Structure 1
């Protein structure tokens, strides 16, 4: 299983659970796909796009379950990032964990394995 990760505000995730569908955060809707990160990319993603934000969650997904709508595309410095060109069923998450801010202002990541 190849896990990929989505950093998402708790409020958006709760709405997705209630509706049974996650269409994406505003940046996802603007770009036309849902942004994910690999385990190696997630911390940098948090530092670049979520600095100082509280009430975030880290959701893990099995890339193999997302099918042909998941594309690995070059982004920062040519690194391949997973992008989902479809809505996401929140029930397919392998796990969802809190992503709190540490005393240093950086997000404290949980163990990111299965």
Structure 2
């Protein structure tokens, strides 16, 4: 399983369009060339680094075997590897959509697995 943090409005638009094409906050697949994803242990770091001031967020749980686009593990810094999806996310590859909530201290909390 891989994960993608999505803003609610982007997920709503994807459901209407038939696939998901947002790479990361404010950047599309066409602009970036791939869609950023993470493993479960990377989600909170990404949320804090790039979405600290964001509105409601969703965590998309993606089954990579159901994607029509290839997934590659890319090294983004020495020894730091993230999965990237090189095409749109097929809606049926998204097996769960859960709110990415904040705790009382304001930090993001992972939903139960």
TM class, shorter-chain normalised?
Answer: 0.7 to 0.9
What CA RMSD, in Å, does the superposition of the two structures yield over aligned residues?
A: 1.7
Task: Check 1:31–1:78 CA distance in 2 against 1; reply closer, same or farther (3 A cut).
Answer: farther
TM (norm. structure 2) is 0.86
CA contact 1:54–1:100 (8 Å) conserved in 2: no
Task: Check 1:54–1:102 CA distance in 2 against 1; reply closer, same or farther (3 A cut).
Answer: farther
Unaligned runs of 5+ in 1: none
When the two structures are aligned, how many residues end up with a matched partner? 110
Q: Deviations over 1:20-53 (max 9, x none)?
A: 1111143343321100000111111111111132
User: Which residue number corresponds to residue 98 of structure 2?
Assistant: 97
User: Which residue number corresponds to residue 27 of structure 1?
Assistant: 27
**Structure 1 segment 101-112 matched on structure 2, within 5 A:** 101-112=102-113
TM (norm. structure 1) is 0.85
Structure 2: how far apart are the matches of 1:46 and 1:77?
Answer: 21
Unaligned runs of 5+ in 2: none
CA contact 2:3–2:59 (8 Å) conserved in 1: yes
**Structure 1 segment 1-114 matched on structure 2, within 5 A:** 3-25=1-23, 26-29=26-29, 30-66=31-67, 69-112=70-113
1:63: Cα distance to partner?
A: 2.1
